Amino acid sequence: MSSNSLNASSGFAGWFKIEAFRADEGGQEIPGSRRIAADWFPNLITNAGLDLLGTTGSTDVFTFCRVGSGNTVPAVTDTALVSQVAVTSSEQALTNGVDRSGAFYAWRRRTLRFANGAAAGTLAEVGVSLTNAGALFSRALILDSGGSPTTITVLSDETLDVTYELRLYPVLTDATGTVDISGTTYNWTARPLIPVSYDVVWSGYLGRGIIPYSVAGNPSNGPAVAAVLPAQGSALSSPIASGVITALAYTNGSYQRSFRFDCDLNNANVAGGIGCFFATSGTTNLDANTFGAWAWGLSPKLPKTASFKATFTIRMSWGRYTP
C-alpha cells in the first residue's frame, strides 16, 4: 500500500462482571454476603466510544458506570442506556496487565461501586462512559452463563460492584507499504513490540485517548529512532531521541488518527541512516495515554544528519476486536 504515512492498527473489546453484597452498620462488607450477580460477559463498544478514543486526552473512557432496566438489543449507534437507574464513578480497584495465553492483549480493569441501595431493583443493561451523562463508550445487556440476556435483582440493602475490563489487541501481523520522503520511495513495516519490558506501556493507561508519548528527550519511551527494526518480541536497541510528536486533528467516524514526527537538526541522527521509528504510550501518569509500543521499519534506511530537519507521519487506526 502506498500512502503518505506509516500505519498501524489495533482492536478493542470489553467485559463486565457484576457482584452484590450487604454491609453492616459500620459500612463494612458482611463476610459471606457477596454474590456474583452476573459473571464475565462481553459488551458492544459504540461508534461514539470509538470516537472517544480519538478525541479523549488523559481521562479514562470507563470512568463512569451506568446501570438500567432497558432490554433493547445494543446497537453501535447507542449513546445512552434505554432506561437508566443509577450512575457512579466511585472507584474501588484499578489493575492492569497483559495476557499471552492466546492472542496477545493488554487489559485494564476498574471496579466501580454503587452505594447501598443506589442501584436497587431489576437491572437488565449496563454501560460505561467518560462522563456521568455523556455518550456511552460501551453498552451491554446483562447476560447469563449461557450468553443469553437476563435480569438481576439488587436488593435495597445491597451494594453493587461492577467491574469493567477493557482489552487492547494490537494487530500482530506486520503491516507494510511504501512512503515517499523527499522524492525517494521507502518500504515501511509496522510492528508492535511485545516483550515483557513494554508491558506497562501496553496496559498501564489503557482506556485513555490514543496518543503516543510526545515529550522529547526520553528515547526509551519514544519518540525515538534506531538503526534496526527489532523483532516483535524484542525491545528497541540503542534508541536515539527523534524530537517531538504532534497529534493531528481527529475526524469523527474515521477511527484513525495521525501523528507527526518532527526531527530537528540535532535529533534522529543515526550513523548509517534511520532503520526504524519508535513510539510508545509513555510510563508516567501525567503524560501517558493509550498507544502501546510500535516500531516502523524503513528500507532503504533514511539518511539523516545535523545538516537538515526531517518530518514524517504515523497513523494509528482502531476498531472492535473480532477473534
Q: What is the dihedral of CA 43, 48, 52, 55, to 10 degrees?
A: 170
Q: Is the pLDDT of residue 218 over 60?
A: yes
Q: Is the pLDDT of residue 131 over 80?
A: yes
Which pLDDT belongs to residue 4? 56
Which pLDDT belongs to residue 137? 98
Which pLDDT belongs to residue 150? 98
Other CB atoms within 10 Å distance of the CB of residue 252: 11
What is the rounded average pLDDT of the residues 111-134?
97
What is the rounded average pLDDT of the residues 18-44?
95
Residue with more model confidence, 241 or 192 = 192
Which pLDDT belongs to residue 66? 98
169-207 pLDDT, tens digit each = 999 999 999 988 888 899 999 999 999 999 999 999 999
List Cβ<8 Å contacts ≥24 apart for 93-97. Answer: 93/163, 96/203, 96/204, 96/206, 97/199, 97/203
Residue 47 dihedral angles phi and psi, to the nearest 5°: -60, -40
What is the rounded average pLDDT of the residues 116-134?
97
The amino acid at residue 253 is: G
Q: What are the counts of helices (DSSP H) followed by strands (DSSP E) for the chain?
A: 2, 21
Which pLDDT belongs to residue 169? 98
**pLDDT tier at 263, thresholds 50, 70, 90:** confident
What is the rounded average pLDDT of the residues 56-60?
92
Q: Which residues contact 114 (CB under 8 A, 6 or more apart)?
A: 65, 67, 86, 88, 90, 159, 160, 161, 162
The pTM of this model reads: 0.94
Which pLDDT belongs to residue 140? 98
**pLDDT tier at 2, thresholds 50, 70, 90:** very low
Q: Is the pLDDT of residue 236 over 90?
A: yes
Q: Which helix (H) or strand (E) holds 47?
A: helix 47-55
Query: What integer best gives the mean pLDDT of the chain?
Result: 93
In angstroms, the CA 95 to CA 109 distance is 5
268-279 pLDDT, tens digit each = 899 999 999 999
Which pLDDT belongs to residue 1? 35
Q: Is the pLDDT of residue 254 over 50?
A: yes
